[in-house]
Amino acid sequence: MDITWSAIGKLLLAGLGTYVLLPAILILRDYILWKLVNTFILNEKLRRKVKSLAIFMQLWNENYAKDVKINSENNKTTYFVGGEELTSEEFKSYREKEDKLKSQIEEAQLYIKRKSNFLNWLLKHYKQDATNPINDWLQYDTDRLNKNNVESNS
């Protein structure tokens, strides 16, 4: 069997490429990927949207997740929100504020969901073992707001 310097050189280059260069390229690819993710997805704007959504959800639960009843008797309409009677102007104002808050919640949820879905796609496509932190951010902010409310009510 003839072993030439050329065959030994090819074997060394194949080993160098497989065990040194390819892992180094993959590490560089992952580093660049996470720099881009942190710059364009997990940025301060998304963090503010997550905090806003937590605040909006808390406001919704405190002010608008109440039982609403409208009674019409003898050509007179009465409005009740959470058992409290409101005038028609107060009820109209209540509904306008409710609709505005609902649209803010929907807009924030849409933005967060779009970013989250794109991040999930990137993590899956590039076979990253990391988890999507966006839901953790929302849970943290919600828990923090709830804790502050409990402390302020005590």
Q: Verify that 46 and 34 share a domain, yes or no.
A: no
Q: Verify that 99 and 125 share a domain, yes or no.
A: yes
Provide the pLDDT for residue 148: 81
Per-residue pLDDT reduced to its tens digit, 72-82: 988 899 999 99
Q: Verify that 18 and 65 share a domain, yes or no.
A: no
Q: Verify that 33 and 56 share a domain, yes or no.
A: no
Q: Verify that 34 and 72 share a domain, yes or no.
A: no
Q: What is the pTM of this model?
A: 0.81
Q: Verify that 66 and 10 share a domain, yes or no.
A: no
Q: Verify that 3 and 67 share a domain, yes or no.
A: no
Q: Verify that 36 and 57 share a domain, yes or no.
A: no
In this model, does residue 96 exceed pLDDT 80? yes
Give the chain as a DSSP string.
----HHHHHHHHHHHHIIIIIHHHHHHHHHHHHHHHHHHHTSSHHHHHHHHHHHHHHHHIIIIISS-EEEEEETTEEEEEETTEEE-HHHHHHHHHHHHHHHHHHHHHHHHHHHHHHHHHHHHHHTT--PPP-HHHHHHHHHHHHHHHHHHHH-
Count up the domains in the chain and report the number: 2
pLDDT band at 152; cut points 50, 70, 90: confident
% pLDDT > 70, the chain: 98
Q: Verify that 91 and 21 share a domain, yes or no.
A: no
In this model, does residue 2 exceed pLDDT 80? no
> What residue numbers bound the domain in which 4 lies?
1-40
